[in-house]
């Protein structure tokens, strides 16, 4: 267990989401003093282990005091997903980029805070020219979601340059696990698992040969906690399993784990889907001494156990 965050004050923006819930629980576990911020009421699972602040990320006043008190600010909020972000780009800019700049302008008034930003390993590189893709790979996103992640990364770098605001960025691959909603397009594994268990049809856009880098959420949380203690020169880390799996392969894996046969319908491919992305995570291995530890089969079983409670 990592103990460097014991008694550190951690603010988690987006604490009610999939990553946020897992992170808050893990932070509480390692002895951090955790404040969770999100829309809506405090999730039951936090059970007094997390101080809850309900509010709107577009309104600085809703969380300004919490930033003032925090040592670490985890920014996990995203209002869009790659597949839908292109349909209202102005909303994407307003709700993700402008709100984050507002957060940074507020953070820079204080000394000694560190911002940990959840960027996207799947969206920032676009169609990769090198596979597995390192952090230095060219970034040419094919979604507004990815363009906004890159712009936020650049503003973080700018604020360090201008105001010595500290930050770390994790470009996270495709996380899955408990608390990922199977009914809200959050990820293929959650969606497929839910639909198999609930006996519903699975829709796939394209021929199912799209390859992604899936990793268990506990490994992501482990990386988010590890990076807090990192004081080296790097700022951006790929966080993935380093292994590629196609959707068709996933269907076989899920069929094996659930013991059920999926009912699949294939549709025309979408232009926002990168054909293949697998992350080169050797920088995180070297600098953070981190790697994805949970075996894939174990991860799927843990996810299944949780998902069965949600049907």
Catalog residues that contact a copy of itself under the rule CB under 8 A.
Answer: 86, 89-90, 93-94, 97-98, 101-102, 105, 136, 138, 140-144, 147, 150-151, 154-155, 157-158, 161-162, 271-272
* Conformation bin of residue 24: beta by default, left when phi > 0, alpha when psi is -120 to 50: alpha
Angle at 164 (CA atoms; ends 96, 25), nearest 5 degrees:
55
Q: How far is the CB of 51 from a copy of itself (least distance, A)?
A: 29
Nearer to a copy of itself, 51 or 149 (CB): 149
Give the strand pairing for 236-239 and 211-212.
unpaired
The whole-angstrom separation of Cα 43 and Cα 21 is 8
Q: How far is the CB of 142 from a copy of itself (least distance, A)?
A: 5
Q: How far is the CB of 266 from a copy of itself (least distance, A)?
A: 22
Q: How far is the CB of 92 from a copy of itself (least distance, A)?
A: 9
Nearer to a copy of itself, 124 or 196 (CB): 124
The whole-angstrom separation of Cα 196 and Cα 101 is 41
- Name the nearest CA neighbour of 310 among 214, 186, 173, 223: 186
Burial string for 148-182 (b: 16+ CB within 10 Å, else e) reads: bbbebbebbeebbeeeebbbbbbbbbbbbbbbbeb
Q: How far is the CB of 88 from a copy of itself (least distance, A)?
A: 10
Token pair belonging to 95: 């709700």
Q: Is 105 exposed, middle or buried (0-12, 13-18, 19+ CB in 10 A)?
A: middle
Q: How far is the CB of 127 from a copy of itself (least distance, A)?
A: 9
Q: How far is the CB of 117 from a copy of itself (least distance, A)?
A: 15
Nearer to a copy of itself, 140 or 211 (CB): 140
Nearer to a copy of itself, 29 or 160 (CB): 160
The whole-angstrom separation of Cα 221 and Cα 47 is 19
The whole-angstrom separation of Cα 209 and Cα 37 is 38
- Where are any strands of DSSP class E within the chain? 9-13, 33-38, 51-54, 72-75, 114-120, 166-172, 174-176, 202-205, 211-212, 214-216, 236-239, 245-246, 264-267
Q: How far is the CB of 168 from a copy of itself (least distance, A)?
A: 16
């Amino acid at each position: 267990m990592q103990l460097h965050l014991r008694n550190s004050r951690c603010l988690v923006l987006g604490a009610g989401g999939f990553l946020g819930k897992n992170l808050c629980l893990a932070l509480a576990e390692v002895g951090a003093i955790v404040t969770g911020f999100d829309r809506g009421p405090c999730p039951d699972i936090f059970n007094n282990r997390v101080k809850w602040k309900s509010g709107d990320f577009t309104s600085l006043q809703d969380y300004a005091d919490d930033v003032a008190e925090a040592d670490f600010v985890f920014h996990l909020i995203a209002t869009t997903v790659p597949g839908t972000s292109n349909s209202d780009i102005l909303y994407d800019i307003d709700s993700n980029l402008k709100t984050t700049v507002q957060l940074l302008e507020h953070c820079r008034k204080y000394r000694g805070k560190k911002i940990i930003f959840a960027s996207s390993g799947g969206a920032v590189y676009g169609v990769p020219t090198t596979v597995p893709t390192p952090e230095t790979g060219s970034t040419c996103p094919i979604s507004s979601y990815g363009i906004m992640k890159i712009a936020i990364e650049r503003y973080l770098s700018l604020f360090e340059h201008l105001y010595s605001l500290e930050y770390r960025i994790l470009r996270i691959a495709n996380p899955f696990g408990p608390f990922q909603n199977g009914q809200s397009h959050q990820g293929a594994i959650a969606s497929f698992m839910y639909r198999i268990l609930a006996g519903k049809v699975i829709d796939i856009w394209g021929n199912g040969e799209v390859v992604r880098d899936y990793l268990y959420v506990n490994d992501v949380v482990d990386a988010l906690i590890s990076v807090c203690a990192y004081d080296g020169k790097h700022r951006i880390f790929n966080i993935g399993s380093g292994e590629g799996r196609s959707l068709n392969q996933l269907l076989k894996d899920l069929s094996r784990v659930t013991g059920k046969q999926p009912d699949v319908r294939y549709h025309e491919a979408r232009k926002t889907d990168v054909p293949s992305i697998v992350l080169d995570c050797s920088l995180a291995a070297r600098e953070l001494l981190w790697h994805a530890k949970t075996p894939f089969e174990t991860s799927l079983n843990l996810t299944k156990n949780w998902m069965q409670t949600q049907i």
